[in-house]
Amino acid sequence: MRLATLAAGAALSLGLLAAPVPAQNFNLNPTFGTISLVAGFTPDPRFIDVTAGGTIAANRLGPDCAGSIANAPDVRLNYTAGTFPLYLFAQSREDTTLVVNLPDGSWICNDDFDGLNPGIVLQRPPSGQYDIWVGVFGGGSGIPARLGISELPPRR
């Protein structure tokens, strides 16, 4: 009995010492703004300059997620879908990643769509809110990048 009590006390102590793990908060205001687009938007593509990276490991969101990202989304896209696919991509001189929280609350990620640049193709995108993070593959932050949003097929 005494051994069980000591074991329970040790487990409780370890639990109290464990630091909370930071996570993405898509309820925070996006760092680089909100954009609202309706299918057929022009000009296409739209670009938003962002600073990629952060201190949170994206791999905790799913097996395809990589790199380090910030807590708040970089960009929020409010999208009204039509018959077109939706392409989300990032461009940078560094190895960047994309992490997207879809309107249904699920996560989708990409690392290398065309070498160092990530891209996501949604053939039948739903209307709604897309929260988008641009990460840095090797970790870190402060990397200049451009987020692209398009309904035109990407060039590989």
Residue carrying the six token digits 């097929």: 153
Q: Which pLDDT value is given to residue 154?
A: 73
CATH number of 24-150: 2.60.120
Could you tell me which residue, 9 or 91, shows the higher pLDDT?
Answer: 91
Domain boundaries, the chain: 24-150
The string of pLDDT tens digits covering residues 56-113 is 999 999 889 999 999 999 999 999 999 999 999 999 999 999 999 999 999 999 999 9
Q: Which pLDDT value is given to residue 16?
A: 35
Model-level pTM?
A: 0.84
Q: Which pLDDT value is given to residue 5?
A: 37
pLDDT of 30 higher than 90: yes
The answer to whether 117 touches 96, Cβ cutoff 8 Å, is yes
Q: In this prediction, what percent of the chain has a pLDDT beyond 90? A: 73
pLDDT of 11 higher than 70: no
Q: Which pLDDT value is given to residue 40?
A: 97
Q: Which pLDDT value is given to residue 27?
A: 82
Q: In this prediction, what percent of the chain has a pLDDT beyond 70? A: 84
Q: Which pLDDT value is given to residue 103?
A: 97
Between the two ends of the chain, the Cα-to-Cα distance in Å is: 66
The answer to whether 143 touches 96, Cβ cutoff 8 Å, is yes
Q: Which pLDDT value is given to residue 153?
A: 85
- What are the helix (H) ranges across the chain? 2-17
Q: Which pLDDT value is given to residue 26?
A: 74
Separation between Cα atoms, residue 131 and residue 74, nearest integer Å: 8
Q: Which pLDDT value is given to residue 155?
A: 67
